[in-house]
A and B are shown apart, each in its own frame.
Chain A
Amino acid sequence: MARQAPAKKPVKIDTGASASKVNIKTRLDGWIKDHRRVSKDSFKRLMAQPINSIVTWLVIGIALALPVGLYVALGNVQELSHRWDGDAQISLFLHQRVSAQSEQRLQQQLRSWPEIESLHIISKEQALEEFQAISGFADVLQHLDHNPLPTVIEIGPTPQFSDVAGAEKLLKKLQALPPVELAKLDLQWVQRLTAMLEVGQRLALGLVILLSMGVLLVIGNTIRLEIENRRDEIIVTKLVGATDAYVRRPFLYTGLWYGLGGGFIASIIIAVGLAILNKPVATLAGLYQSDYMLLGLSFSDMVSLWMMAGILGFFGAWFSVSKHLDAMEPR
């Protein structure tokens, strides 16, 4: 049975009586089938011009890979800073003259403080050994008549005292202890890093907006050319009664395919970039005695990247279609 499109009130269609009997399910079924046909058809059209399509996909992919790559980089820096942020450490450098006994006493005293979670002592001798091993100054140190290194106590504050304000309060208290020559809290770099991260995030956001607009324009322009190329077809279909939605549909799908393909290429670019960087980063991390591994895009990140790209493609096509297609009337 024919599924005639809904005849709007003022127009009678002579098969209208039977058409109106066609139930919604059949009509919906036909609509879905048409979408399936059009989506397949527009994909085939892209594949029929592989070079053009691949170039467009690459342009979109590169434009998307830039901001997304920046986000990935920021995510990694943030992850690193979190790692260090979590165990904000205060180093106490004791006076050279402090006896082993008073060191012992100090240790016990500190252990009783509720602000302190962990405590690690590096004795002068340990420090010297370690320094000799890794600094490469072993020969020079041999010539010194006494050990110039102080005893260091590394203090890990409890979580409440791990933030900037809490750690600074604790620092003051520790600095006031007589055996302590210097109490050092390395928090300033964390603050600086946080500020820099914020700048970076703004930058990435700006890039996302600009490059997304670029993607919209690229897709819009590509679709405009496509519309020009299919002008005859559009006019003929309009003459035989195609609705605007029907005429628009293949172009919107084309935009969607461009976007999705571009998003897919962007995720490949990022994956390849990460693979290239992973080894040097691991080496670098090793030099800092860390086993840090680069964070990539999770699967859900990737899916949202594809979706974002698809949506961009769709809307790029939409703008182009509403600007150029609706104006294309048979004359």
Chain B
Amino acid sequence: MIQFDNVTKRYDTGHEALKRVSFHIKANEMVFLTGHSGAGKSTLLKLIMMMEQPSDGQVLVDGFDLGAQSRKHIPFHRRQIGVVFQNHQLLFDRSVFENVALPLQIAGYTPREIGRRVRAALDKVGLLEKEKHNPITLSGGQQQRVGIARAVVHKPKILLADEPTGNLDPELSSEIMYLFEQFNRVGVTVLLASHDLSLITGMKHRMLTLSDGAVVGGFD
């Protein structure tokens, strides 16, 4: 589902964030991406999201070479992917419902369909009763769950998460991890970047380890 072939990402400053990275994540897999901070985890996720272009090598998502796609296709590529950020990136000028509805609105769903899917997603993360609240009134863990609901509401094939538990205490963190596992169980490919080894080593999933921009473990 996600394949990197000798991918190098060099920034204008000369810094090499990724060095000849190769790996393959199969469909329905759940993989942890680990490494010290600055090892290149975020860069790797950005390449998958087409927020960055590789300097060298090939990134394939669902069999398509991202380098061969024009700028115009970026939005349609992103609609297949759900992303969860450490700082959840919620909009505080609208309700929880409207935050989660955003990807559907963009894709042009009917209001009825939007209502149905948003409530289903909120139900899955256990926040159905909060739909009318402003996300600013929610706790950190709840905000992160709203972010997850938004990432999965349009039923993406791939779910990416960048340090989704970075700001949460251990108990909340494992709740969030459990959520990701559930989505993986229904067929979503999950790639989750985290440096919280104590949290993820207990879970039986492949660990892709980056160090200084190079893959040092779990490439296959």
Spell out A's residues near B (CB within 8 Å): 1-5, 7-8, 10-15, 27, 30-31, 34, 232-233, 235-244, 246, 329-331
A236 touches B79 (CB 8 A): no
Known: A2-B109, A30-B108, A31-B108. 7 other contacts (CB 8 A): A2-B113, A3-B109, A11-B76, A232-B91, A233-B91, A238-B78, A240-B83
Residues of A within 8 A of B78 (CB): 238-241
Query: Which A-B residue pairs are the 9 nearest by beta carbons?
Result: A241-B79, A241-B78, A240-B103, A3-B108, A243-B75, A242-B106, A11-B76, A241-B75, A30-B108
Q: Does B77 reach chain A (CB closer than 8 Å)?
A: yes
Of B29-37, B64-72, B122-130, B168-176, which binds chain A? B64-72
Residues of A within 8 A of B113 (CB): 1-2
A10 touches B69 (CB 8 A): yes
Query: Bound complex: CA of A62 vs CA of B186, how far in Å?
Result: 61
Q: From B49, B93, B106, B155, name the one whose CB has the most chain A CB atoms within 10 angstroms.
A: B106
Q: A10-B68, A240-B102 are in contact. Are A233 and B108 (CB under 8 A)?
A: no
A232 touches B106 (CB 8 A): no
A27 touches B108 (CB 8 A): yes
Which of B49, B64, B93 lies in contact with A10, CB distance below 8 A? B64
Residues of A within 8 A of B89 (CB): 232, 235-236, 239
Q: Does B199 reach chain A (CB closer than 8 Å)?
A: no
Residues of B within 8 A of A10 (CB): 64, 68-69, 73
CB-based nearest B residue for A243: B75
Question: How many Cβ-Cβ contacts under 8 Å join chain A to chain B?
Answer: 93
Query: Bound complex: CA of A246 vs CA of B106, how far in Å?
Result: 7
> How many residues on the B side are at the interface (Cβ–Cβ under 8 A)?
32
CB-based nearest A residue for B113: A2
Chain B proximity of A250: nearest CB distance (Å): 12
Residues of A within 8 A of B155 (CB): 14-15
Query: Bound complex: CA of A31 vs CA of B154, how far in Å?
Result: 19
Residues of A within 8 A of B119 (CB): none
A11 touches B108 (CB 8 A): no
Q: Does B51 reach chain A (CB closer than 8 Å)?
A: yes
CB-based nearest A residue for B64: A10
Spell out B's residues near A (CB within 8 Å): 49, 51, 62-64, 68-69, 72-73, 75-80, 83, 89, 91, 93, 102-103, 105-110, 113, 150, 154-155, 157
Residues of A within 8 A of B69 (CB): 10-11
Which of A4, A7, A12, A15 lies in contact with B108, CB distance below 8 A? A4
B76 touches A2 (CB 8 A): no
Which of B51, B63, B105, B108 lies in contact with A329, CB distance below 8 A? B51
Query: Bound complex: CA of A232 vs CA of B107, how far in Å?
Result: 19
Chain A proximity of B97: nearest CB distance (Å): 15
Query: Bound complex: CA of A239 vs CA of B75, how far in Å?
Result: 8
CB-based nearest B residue for A236: B89
Chain A proximity of B162: nearest CB distance (Å): 11
Query: Bound complex: CA of A235 vs CA of B76, how far in Å?
Result: 15
Which of A3, A5, A7 lies in contact with B110, CB distance below 8 A? A3
Residues of B within 8 A of A8 (CB): 72-73, 76
Which of B49, B63, B76, B93 lies in contact with A239, CB distance below 8 A? B49
Query: Bound complex: CA of A302 vs CA of B49, how far in Å?
Result: 49
Residues of B within 8 A of A235 (CB): 89
Query: Bound complex: CA of A31 vs CA of B62, how far in Å?
Result: 29
Residues of A within 8 A of B72 (CB): 8
Chain A proximity of B4: nearest CB distance (Å): 18
**8 sample A-B contacts, Cβ–Cβ < 8 Å, listed by A number:** A1-B110, A7-B76, A11-B69, A30-B108, A233-B91, A240-B79, A242-B106, A330-B51
Query: Bound complex: CA of A11 vs CA of B78, how far in Å?
Result: 10
